[in-house]
Homo-oligomer: A and B are copies of this chain.
Amino acid sequence: PPRHSGELSSTQASTRLLAYSDALLSIIATVMILPVAHTKIHPDQKLGESIQQLLLMKIAVYLMTFLIVTVAWAAHIRLFQVIELIDDVLALLNLACMMLITFLPYTFSLMASFPGVPFGIFMFSTCAIVIGLIQAVIVAYGFYHPYLLNHQIQMSENQAFYKHHILQIILRGPVLCFLAAVFSFFFIPMSYVLLGLVIFLPHITRLIIWCKNKTGGPEEEEERHRLEAFTFYLNEPLSKERVEAFSDGVYAIVATLLILDICEDNVPDSKEVKDRFHDRLIEALSEYGPNFLAYFASFVTTGLLWFVHHSLFLYITKTTRFMGLLNTFSLAFIGGLPLGYQLTSEFAEKSHNEIEAIQVSCVITFFASIFQFAIWITALFHERETLHPLARYGGKEHAFMFAKLALYPCVSLGAFFLTCLLSKFSTAIFHIMQIVVPFAFLALRILVRISLAIMKSVLSLSRRKSVVLDEEETCLSPAETLS
């Protein structure tokens, strides 16, 4: 509902606009996996070669899209941390921005198909520059109508400084893109380097600052102090709600994209049913059995990885930039799950490729889950700022959290090694394994409780012997135990 119901009737809270933007951005980031998954591979071709030849380019397009969209998304978060209320003009400008971001995957497809032609780079740069300009207009509009701004900035004396800083964050990418567009006409490799910079620049600057602080910290203390309140507010924590919303979008689209393929490819032709199966539909459908199994297995995997993510973020109180980066990597692999589904369902009964398809699935699942695990480890290093007391070292939920996050890396690694050891390992077994995992979650809960109870009784026994020793043990920091 409108906040200032009296005078400023046309201003609105930006919650829903941001939720809609997150949904758009997460879908765009993920949807480019479809061309990858739909790549037709001849059954007689060896999968190893095909992956190298056919898929590599499309996977590159997917990853570039994913990363550039997350960069745009991070800039969008910054922007709407400064501008807290919106009106119709800002809503329309934001939609224009979204339209151009939605178009970026196409420019990547062009670049991938014609890597030697400058037009693809030129088109991408133009889009990026226009996006930057629209966002600059949004900033200018926001500072021209200060009641739209974040309260802290609204009250501040250095409004001009804040404006300068946010414009710098927003226009950094477009300027690099402009250079890339210029270089594209006479030296294309340089353009690609510049485009790579757009993606990694925020993290590189972050790393440099971090290194500087480590080596010669106290020298710059003064300047840093001046910016502290601002840096704290605008640079460090990604808004937790928006990280969750973006992740939800990715998980949701991955979970549902699969049914599309099922609906388009696995409805038998009525003529074929008449001729080959004498009108027995169930027999015709039984041919698709492996596909259904693969579908349910993929949904279960996506759903449970969402569940782990959800459990993790319940106890995270602040998302640092590095955690955000790890989350992005995790999501990029989540987006790859449809590829795993496609491979395992396509090569269900072609022995050599079958094993390789399972291995690709395992690798994707492993990286998706290990990056989730890494978020948790990173959070533990600064647990006082980033974690809820219950999940900290020694907290009631700590052990269970650890078990939850470790489950998928272990399962996928285990499956991978099984494919190497057992020659009879098949997609069917793999999918059934995937479907059984949720019961492992419930079993885990019971297991952790039992082992905790045993540990407690052991501890209470030893406590009787020496109280001091026990206290030392509980105070052990997580950094020490984990390294």
Contacts and interface: CB of A to CB of B under 8 A. Distances in A.
B9 A106 contact: no
Nearest to A13: B314
A346 interface: no
Interface in A55-99: 88-89, 91-92, 95-96, 98-99
A262 B92 CA distance: 24
Given A105-B263, A256-B28, A441-B92, A251 B1 contact: no
A20 B306 CA distance: 9
A157 to B, nearest CB: 33
Nearest to A300: B99
Interface string A14-50: 0011011001100110011011001000000000000
A275 to B, nearest CB: 15
Contacts of A252: 20, 23-24, 27, 249
Given A106-B263, A270-B113, A91 B310 contact: yes
Given A95-B307, A259-B102, A311-B88, A113 B267 contact: yes
A9 B109 contact: no
Contact of A89 (B102, B263, B442): B442
Contacts of A99: 296, 299-300, 303
A102 B260 CA distance: 10
A467 interface: no
Interface in A344-401: 388-390, 396-397
Given A23-B249, A262-B106, A299-B99, A114 B281 contact: yes
A445 B10 CA distance: 11
A268 interface: yes
Contacts of A16: 244, 248, 310, 313
Interface string A116-158: 0101100000000000000000000000000000000000000
A388 B244 contact: no
A337 interface: no
A304 B91 CA distance: 10
Nearest to A240: B1
Interface string A264-304: 10111010010000010110010000000001100110011
A5 interface: yes
Contact of A20 (B119, B251, B268): B251
Nearest to A102: B259
Given A5-B389, A282-B119, A310-B17, A103 B259 contact: yes
Interface residues of A, number: 85
A307 B110 CA distance: 31
Given A99-B296, A248-B23, A1 B388 contact: yes
B266 A2 contact: no
A314 B263 contact: no
A482 B43 CA distance: 65
Contacts of A253: 27, 253
A257 to B, nearest CB: 8
Contact of A24 (B9, B106, B256): B256
Among all A-B residue pairs, the 3 with the closest Cβ atoms: A23-B252, A95-B303, A27-B256
Interface of A: 1-2, 5, 9-10, 12, 16-17, 19-20, 23-24, 27-28, 31-32, 34-35, 38, 88-89, 91-92, 95-96, 98-99, 102-103, 105-106, 109-110, 113-114, 117, 119-120, 244-245, 248-249, 251-253, 255-257, 259-260, 262-264, 266-268, 270, 273, 279, 281-282, 285, 295-296, 299-300, 303-304, 306-307, 310-311, 313-315, 317, 388-390, 396-397, 438, 441-442, 445
